Structure 1
Amino acid sequence: MQNKGLIKVFAILFGLVCLYQLSFTFFTNKVESDAEEFAVRAYGDDVEDYSQKRDAAEARYLDSIGNEDIFAGITYNNAKDKELNKGLDLKGGINVILQISVKDILSGLANDSNDPAFRKALAEADAAQADSQDDYVDLFFDAFNDIPGAKLASPDVFANKTLSDEVNFNMSNQEVEPIIRTKIDESITSAFEVLRKRIDKFGVTQPNIQRLGNSGRILVELPGAKDISRVKNLLQSTAQLEFWHVYKNSEIGSFLVQANNKLIELQRSEKTSTQEETDTTATTGDSEIDELLADAEDSTEVATSANPIFDLLVSPGYQGGPVLGNFHVQDTAKVMGYITTPQVRNLLPNNLRYAKFVWGVPDADSETASLYALKGNRTMEPPLSGSVITDAQQTFDQLGRIAVTMQMDGTGAKIWEDMTSQASNEQSNIAIVLDNVVYSAPGVSTGAISGGRSEISGDFSITEGQDLANVLRAGKLPASAEIIQSEVVGPSLGQEAIDSGILSFVIALILVLLWMILYYGKAGLFADIALAVNILFIFGILAGLGAVLTLPGIAGIVLTIGMSVDANVLIFERIKEELAKGKIQRDAIKDGFSNALSSILDANITTGLTGIILFVLGTGPIKGFATTLLIGIATSLFTAIFITRLFIDGYGVKGKSLAFSTSITKNLFTNMNFDFLGKRKMAYIVSGLLIIISLGSLLTQGLNEGVDFVGGRTYTVRFADDVNPTAVEKDLIAAFESAEAKTFGPDNQLKITTKYRVNDQGAEVDEEIQQSLFGALKPYLPSDITYEQFSSGGDEKAVGIMQSMKVGATIADDIENASFWSVIGSLIVVFLYILLRFRKWQFSLGAVAAVFHDVLIVLGIFSLLHSVMPFSMEIDQAFIAAILTVIGYSLNDTVVVFDRIREYVAEHNTWPLGKTINAALNSTLSRTLNTSLTTLVVLIAIFIFGGEGIRGFMFALIIGVIVGTYSSLFIATPVMFDSVSDKSKIERKKKAELEEAKTV
């Protein structure tokens, strides 16, 4: 090997760099461990809300020492920025995909047009999106262009004042479309920047936010975030800030009296109606009372209440103030339904006909909300909006309450001065409204307020005040943002994942290291050292690149350990062959490395191609797995080819003899002469039966598709005691119409899945479903547990929701589509690579046939056994990662076999083809079984000790390795052999006979 000195220097320097990168993780872990101990000492288990108080104490501790020198100028704060990032499943936190509403953006660009063609196109795009992979804007344009005579450049659509500089009346639809696409992209970019600014100020370390293509979707990952409801509010709040003049209750208060009387009149009319009218009403539903109650939440209450509104009134507002009345929060929707129904609203006099009724922020203590009437106008646009805000800060008002101060730009300051002047003259109030909720409605009695400074005061906590200031400072979202996919992992479950991941990692590593020494002796020890260097390189690169380590990522690293042994096995087996030919040790080592290089490169490139497709098309766990797999392949090649070689050459430099076996393994697999091709018909029959059974099960039973592919919500819930999943499932079905509960790991932990309201979006829907879940599970939970404790993601007592996931129906279709193409894409790419590498289509056919064989059998086993196995066998994104890994492993094995066949065909060109192939297969048997065994040992260790979350993933890989090893010998090679023309076989046979005759 040339340039040994250069390789040594590079390896040492690179190792030191990796240690340096990992040192930051060591420092932060040490400091955070000290902070945790400090918090535990400060707040024991007997302290109320000890979990939240410990979190706050830890944060204070870390803030206090954040800039103190730990070692050689390194502080906690700068070490935290450079530590190895831990993913959601290892650290807890939240991962969401937000869908920015393209419909809202289109409506905004069209100035909320009521043009019939525009509204019809929007409605058709809404309907089509449920079953289409196309972007919303494409669906809108397709629908609009199908409407005869519809023009995008109409004054009622996009040829308006807002777009007058870019859209004119003479433009065709095709000319307007790219302009609108550009505007939509600008709005989504704006939304991305707004969210990024909000997240930057949230205080979570190592957040990740990225746009997903051009679909209007934004991925947000916040590892370590514990206050999940706070995070969701921060992400989904549009921050639509408005300033309105407010009616005094003395101006509009009589309206409530009139509305109440009108409701009484209508219910009396209903009671005294004839039976015929009642029957007609039941049939047609067009009576006044039915029209009224169509917008009310509970018709029974209205029909029996003496005073429909005043019976719900908790207290009136003070005389001359802005509050019309205070109502219980649970009655707000009902009251709003009453007062906004046309029959009641028509009671407003002309000077009040544009009144806009809104609720104030609910009072946490009394659980009431105040009703306000804003002074609207014909366009219902506020006199002043939040676009004028240039800065916002959390502060305290004159009474010591938490408040948020705002500073406006010059335009806003002038309008604010005019508004406050008018309010002062009229002795009235100005409402500060955020997302259609009144946060405060201060009176103005000191004259006009100049300078553009204003304040929002209310019943805020410090974090709520900070979040509100953060949102206002970052700006409003240009459109609503709905969470269409989310995953929440509690910190307790994250720590358990770390513990199980490390345990599986250590056990698998020890088993592999011992096996290599047992099989190859001192040479195996050198391979183990190279493997240790490989692991250091992998973690160092992950830390240096800022990549995120996830549980599937740890599985990828452990799998890499098993697969990286393959390169050393190939090398050692080739060296043993060269030694058996009588070569001296130095030449045998040189030729062994040289001859093995082709197989090593081919095997790793095919696996690498699969990894690249995983990385490009995958999201979340798939991408994490692919990242570590790709890094592991690169480092494994370097350490196996160069590091192992350095140790072996260094050992033999003084003439020391190095055996590549032990007394136990010295003669294993020598002089093998198994007739693989002679058994191919039997293999075809066995594989054919397995494929038929698999296809039959897939067509009849199908697969247990997870929410990734069908949409829905899943919750991993832990109980204090063991529970019966069947009994729990009955209670859940009563609450959700359809639900499934399965034991997930220990008997006190369930995985609950429901498709209830899968098509309904919005934070309020998520909250309602989670509340219903809590209600259904209440009989099985500790009597003193609150909803907040249940939904907090699992505290130290580890009871409640440990993990949750939501996938909307639309994105589920997208995930399923991407998964399908990732599998097909990997097959096409590998087929082409093998075709180019081996120059014969028969090799590609054999390889792809083996892969299809392996994938069908794995799918069939999952279809047959998903209802009987004691662990989850859902088909989700992680399973697709497993299938692609099976493809990569199967190809890896097949390519090594094909590489030896190609070598033997060239070397023994006078042998019959069948004899050549059998000899090649027998020569690789030691390597094939050795690699499969070490990989299986690794996978079984992860399967047993790696945690419930990846057990199904590992089971798929175990089946895949077993089937893949079999198929490379009994499917790929026979298919390749049978596809070679009979003419070529006859020619080789005749050639062999001639050579034999000459010899005789």
Structure 2
Amino acid sequence: MQNKGLVSVFAILFGLVSIYQLSFTFITNKVEDSAKEFANSKFTEDQPHERNVAEARYLDSVANNPVFLGVDYKTAKEKELNKGLDLKGGINVMLEVSVKDILKGLANNTKDAAFNQALENAKELQKTSQDTYLESFFKAFEALPGENNLASPDIFFNKNLEDVIEVGMTNAQVKPIIEKKIDESITSAFEVLRKRIDKFGVTQPNIQRIGKSARILVELPGAKDVDRVKKLLQSTAQLEFWDVYKFEEVAGFLQAADLKAGEIESAKSKTATTVETTQEETDSTASEEDDVSKLLGGQDVKDSLVDDGKSNPILSKMVSLGSQGSPVIATFRLKDTSVVNGYLRNPQIKSLLPNELRFAKFVWGLPEANPQLDGEETSSLYALKGNRNNTPPLGGSVVVDARQEFDQMSRVVVSMQMNGQGAKVWEQMTGNAYQNQSQIAIVLDDIVYSAPGVTSGPIAGGRSQISGNFTVPQGQDLANVLRAGKLPASAEIVQGEVVGPTLGQEAINSGVLSFLLALGIVLVWMIFYYGKAGIFADIALMVNILFIFGILAGLGAVLTLPGIAGIVLTIGMSVDANVLIFERIKEELAKGKAQKDAIRDGFNNALSSILDANITTGLTGLILLVFGTGPIQGFATTLLIGIATALFTSIFITRLFIDNYTKNGKDLPCSTSITKNLFTNVNIAFLKKRKMAYIFSAIMLTISAISLFTNGLNQGVDFVGGRTYTVRFAKDVNSAEIQDNLIATFGSAEAKTYGGDNQLKITTKYKVEETGTEVDDEIERMLYETVKKDMPADMTFEKFVGDQEGKSIGRMEYYKVSPTIADDIKRDSFWAVFGSLIVVFLYILLRFRKWQFGLGAVAAIFHDVVIVLGVFSLTYKFMPFSMEIDQAFIAAILTVVGYSLNDTVIVFDRIREFFGEHPNWKMNRVIDVALNSTLGRTLNTSFTTLIVLLCMFFFGAESIRGLLFAIIVGIFVGTYSSLFIATPIMYDTVKRKNIEDLLDRKEEEEAPAVEA
């Protein structure tokens, strides 16, 4: 090998750079371990929040202290190897900004019937369309009957857009303007979210807009307070100041609403006696005063009510009643607020509102733990003084600054400063409230944070405060979102994943264990099989691993569980390259060549096969990188990096050691006494057995097809939408029993053992079409109530959903995908698989110049994919691990494609080489000899790769077990198909069974044979 010195210098420098890049990770781990020890020494396991605060303060205090060679923790943290969500815990969400809300805002909340009908129709179109919401809206608008014009004064020709839209514009002229405005709004939302996240304090956050869509990806590895993050991301920061009704002004309506609700419930059941109400109960002032006096009397109203949910469906759910002069009407359990909302929104009940209350807007206050209900959360009901346009007297746009402070009672508050215009309105509002002895409700995203009275006259200067029993982090977050500004529209989580830090640490532990075990077995096997040459291959392999981690750290890439699987798979590929080289060296030695010549020719002849095999696998990895998201991109990234480093270390590093060892004439047989003659005299007539192989494969394909059409596949939430929870119990549980309980709660649900018998993976499609924090919280609360009886007695809801480090039971992981996102994932997955087949066919066509080779390879790949799908279809109902078809499974399928192709290309390379060497042989003889000559390499590589994968399968993380099982099945099937499907199909598609049909004799004479 020429330029050995240059290769050596490059390898040494690259190794030193990799060690330097990884040193930052060692520094951060050392400091963070010290921080954990400090926090654990100060607080117990029952104080997770205090531990987190103490840990954060410790890290802040030592952030700038030099740790090693002058490098401080802060600097090292910025350059460490990033760990993904599944290794570190945290939250990963896909937010979708509501284009519908933006359109409403641009149209100035118009009441135009055509416009609003088009919005609703667009929502329906989205369920079956891949168009954006805006494209669906345009289609829906144009499909409406009549001449509907977007530029009409009732829609987009208004104060908001009068500078860009004119009367008389056609719809075609208006569309690009609206598209631009929508894009600007989404960009604005992205910037608002970025500012909020920058202030949140999570290290290595990632926020990116997905193309030109309304979707924004937010990744916060290490974020432990998940509820806090979700509120931070989804809060529109729609701050409003409203005048509020007093209790006595609304109490009469509340009782009338309760009576009417009772009538409605009685009518539904058709068994209860109809409760009669008179018109005087709502219209007569005298009767209303009587009702109020009853409510305000000395008797306990709630004790006089029958809590049967029918006679008094509203008041029977009441925890406490408001008092005279108070802005609170009544207090209810948090879990009952949605039921009360349903009654208050009922048209029959709304019609009972007297004229002076007809614009009243009912909203809820911040949830608070009620000590009288063992800490269960309650919320207070308020009635805001609305108006015909439903607009507040003062909005949050006037706020120019906000910060978390402490009031005179040392309570956490958020102080705000308004601009001049806001200060004037605020002074007028506070003056009226002082004069009328009333309150002003401070409302953020339709939640009343506080409703203070004014005791000292009008407030000048635009200063105000929000209070609400905040913790310091809550106060900081509220000030953060107010400073960053409001989102131009609501942002809903359409895809989300929450991983507790405990699962992340367990994943690291299992990943490291399986990695080291697999590595150890491969290292020992290479020495056992190839002797001293195996030692050199092992050294090259270790250098390869160092390079991979160094490049990942240097690029700022994220290491995930699938990424670790990619690295482990790269070990097998790196070994494969050395196996090819050593097998070719053995062949050259068997021909009687001198050792120096045998080594040179062995490397040269193996180069073509190595390049072909790695390029084809690299192409599938590239497709994964383009079409995949999140962890799948992590898998593709490590796979591509591993391919590049494996090529360098296998070809150059191994060669350096071999040349240095043999330069003084030392013997290097590339085998041991046990393995010396393995596979040397094998003579299998592969082509004669092709008919039996065709029959066997046809049977397997038929069984797979029948199962796919009858049993189908266990499609995960990635493809159908839904919510998945990983729940761990203190003891082993019966999954079937819990599944029955869940079905009774949600209507449809699935519970499967996930890992140990004390852990379940629970999936439900309940309210899958609905988004929002309230819905997520509702479903988690329903889940908690369903499994609570199997949890310890002291398991509260807060402990169940909490994500503190060291947590051993409760909800450990959460994953959600909306149906729209699921459709997109399914489409991208299809194109990934289909695209890989096209790319493979084109590459082989280009590389071998004959379509028969491409057909054989694609047929083998199709064969392998269908059988792997069939195995999953046949076995997913009884396998003791998750066999869901999700994004990880698509990664596995493409890996199988790459592996099968790798094997097939190496066989084809050897066949093409033998065509050139033996032009007088019959084609069947050439093929059989070529297949037999590659058998040692094929089985050796398959064995080492399987060992690696089996270690990961049995000792690795549960979450990638399905992915690994698919690859393991794929290796068995892929090895078989490269020998008995790809080559025979290529052979049978040649018109005449001789070499001239595949190679032009003139080209053979003018060009040297391509060496494999």
What SS class does the counterpart of residue 128 from structure 1 fall into?
helix
The equivalences for 1:102-251 within 5 A come to 102-147=99-144, 148-247=146-245, 249=246
> 1:725 & 1:978 partners in 2: Cα distance?
52
> 1:44 & 1:424 partners in 2: Cα distance?
48
Distance verdict in 2 for CA 1:638–1:215, change over 3 Å: same
Which of 71, 77, 80 is residue 77 of structure 2 equivalent to? Answer: 80
The equivalences for 1:686-697 within 5 A come to 686-697=696-707
Which digits, 9 at most, give the CA deviation of each residue in 1:616-651, with x for residues without a partner? Answer: 111122111111101100110111111111111122
Query: Which has the larger displacement, 455-464 or 331-340?
Result: 331-340
> Is the 8 Å Cα contact of residues 913 and 988 (structure 1) preserved in structure 2?
no
1:845 and 2:855 aligned: yes
Which digits, 9 at most, give the CA deviation of each residue in 1:917-949, with x for residues without a partner? Answer: 222222212211111111111111111111322
1:314 and 2:327 aligned: no
1:526 and 2:536 aligned: yes
**Per-residue deviation at 1:139?**
1.0
Question: What corresponds to 2:835 in structure 1?
Answer: 825
Question: What corresponds to 1:253 in structure 2?
Answer: 248
Matched AA of 1:127: E
Which of 343, 356, 360 is residue 361 of structure 2 equivalent to? Answer: 356
> 1:460 & 1:162 partners in 2: Cα distance?
37
Matched AA of 2:946: L
1:490 and 2:500 aligned: yes
> 2:994 & 2:743 partners in 1: Cα distance?
65
The equivalences for 1:764-803 within 5 A come to 764-793=774-803, 796=806, 798-803=808-813
What SS class does the counterpart of residue 189 from structure 2 fall into?
helix
Distance verdict in 2 for CA 1:720–1:356, change over 3 Å: closer
Distance verdict in 2 for CA 1:446–1:855, change over 3 Å: same
The equivalences for 1:357-756 within 5 A come to 357-365=362-370, 368-423=378-433, 428-444=438-454, 446=456, 448-756=458-766
Q: Percent identity?
A: 65
What are structure 1's unaligned runs of at least 5 residues?
A: 282-287, 290-297, 992-1000
> 1:559 & 1:421 partners in 2: Cα distance?
72
Distance verdict in 2 for CA 1:579–1:665, change over 3 Å: same
Distance verdict in 2 for CA 1:328–1:897, change over 3 Å: closer
Distance verdict in 2 for CA 1:336–1:943, change over 3 Å: closer
Matched AA of 1:663: S
Query: Which has the larger displacement, 651-660 or 442-451?
Result: 442-451
> Is the 8 Å Cα contact of residues 624 and 636 (structure 2) preserved in structure 1?
yes
Distance verdict in 2 for CA 1:167–1:748, change over 3 Å: same
**Per-residue deviation at 1:354?**
3.7
> Is the 8 Å Cα contact of residues 240 and 434 (structure 1) preserved in structure 2?
yes
What are structure 2's unaligned runs of at least 5 residues?
A: 277-281, 284-304, 372-376, 1002-1012
Query: Which has the larger displacement, 357-366 or 861-870?
Result: 357-366
> Is the 8 Å Cα contact of residues 922 and 993 (structure 2) preserved in structure 1?
no
Which digits, 9 at most, give the CA deviation of each residue in 1:71-115, with x for residues without a partner? Answer: 122111221111111111111112221121111111111112221
> 1:265 & 1:556 partners in 2: Cα distance?
63
> 2:112 & 2:335 partners in 1: Cα distance?
37
Question: What corresponds to 2:311 in structure 1?
Answer: 304
Distance verdict in 2 for CA 1:759–1:268, change over 3 Å: closer
> 2:335 & 2:989 partners in 1: Cα distance?
73
**Per-residue deviation at 1:384?**
2.4
> 1:628 & 1:469 partners in 2: Cα distance?
40
Question: What corresponds to 2:27 in structure 1?
Answer: 27
Question: What corresponds to 1:873 in structure 2?
Answer: 883
> Is the 8 Å Cα contact of residues 991 and 997 (structure 2) preserved in structure 1?
no
Distance verdict in 2 for CA 1:328–1:940, change over 3 Å: closer
> 1:268 & 1:86 partners in 2: Cα distance?
58
Query: Which has the larger displacement, 560-569 or 341-350?
Result: 341-350
Which of 977, 980, 983 is residue 987 of structure 2 equivalent to? Answer: 977
Distance verdict in 2 for CA 1:543–1:157, change over 3 Å: same
> 2:212 & 2:685 partners in 1: Cα distance?
56
> 1:236 & 1:224 partners in 2: Cα distance?
19
> 1:270 & 1:65 partners in 2: Cα distance?
63
> Is the 8 Å Cα contact of residues 260 and 310 (structure 1) preserved in structure 2?
no
**Per-residue deviation at 1:314?**
2.5
Which digits, 9 at most, give the CA deviation of each residue in 1:34-57, with x for residues without a partner? Answer: 222222222345xxx233333232
Which digits, 9 at most, give the CA deviation of each residue in 1:513-549, with x for residues without a partner? Answer: 1111111111111111110000000001111111111
> 2:162 & 2:932 partners in 1: Cα distance?
77
> 2:917 & 2:266 partners in 1: Cα distance?
102
> 1:550 & 1:237 partners in 2: Cα distance?
29
Give the number of aligned pairs: 968
Distance verdict in 2 for CA 1:737–1:258, change over 3 Å: closer
1:909 and 2:919 aligned: yes
1:934 and 2:944 aligned: yes
What SS class does the counterpart of residue 94 from structure 1 fall into?
strand
Question: What corresponds to 1:12 in structure 2?
Answer: 12
Distance verdict in 2 for CA 1:402–1:538, change over 3 Å: same
Matched AA of 2:607: L
Query: Which has the larger displacement, 629-638 or 728-737?
Result: 728-737
What SS class does the counterpart of residue 438 from structure 1 fall into?
strand
Matched AA of 1:364: A
Query: Which has the larger displacement, 324-333 or 375-384?
Result: 324-333
Query: Which has the larger displacement, 681-690 or 436-445?
Result: 436-445
Which digits, 9 at most, give the CA deviation of each residue in 1:758-779, with x for residues without a partner? Answer: 2222222222222222222122
> Is the 8 Å Cα contact of residues 335 and 778 (structure 2) preserved in structure 1?
no
> Is the 8 Å Cα contact of residues 376 and 382 (structure 1) preserved in structure 2?
yes
What SS class does the counterpart of residue 200 from structure 2 fall into?
coil
Which digits, 9 at most, give the CA deviation of each residue in 1:783-827, with x for residues without a partner? Answer: 221111122247635111121212222221221111111100111
> 2:737 & 2:599 partners in 1: Cα distance?
65
Question: What corresponds to 1:285 in structure 2?
Answer: none
Distance verdict in 2 for CA 1:450–1:6, change over 3 Å: farther
> Is the 8 Å Cα contact of residues 259 and 344 (structure 1) preserved in structure 2?
no
Query: Which has the larger displacement, 764-773 or 381-390?
Result: 381-390
Distance verdict in 2 for CA 1:85–1:607, change over 3 Å: same
> 2:265 & 2:643 partners in 1: Cα distance?
78
What SS class does the counterpart of residue 304 from structure 1 fall into?
coil
**Per-residue deviation at 1:339?**
5.9
**Per-residue deviation at 1:413?**
3.8
What SS class does the counterpart of residue 239 from structure 1 fall into?
coil
Question: What corresponds to 1:95 in structure 2?
Answer: 92
- TM-score (norm. length: structure 1): 0.92
Matched AA of 2:37: E
**Per-residue deviation at 1:263?**
6.1
Which digits, 9 at most, give the CA deviation of each residue in 1:693-742, with x for residues without a partner? Answer: 11111111111111211222222211111112222222222222222222
> 1:327 & 1:721 partners in 2: Cα distance?
35
> Is the 8 Å Cα contact of residues 508 and 938 (structure 1) preserved in structure 2?
yes
> Is the 8 Å Cα contact of residues 674 and 922 (structure 1) preserved in structure 2?
yes
**Per-residue deviation at 1:271?**
9.8
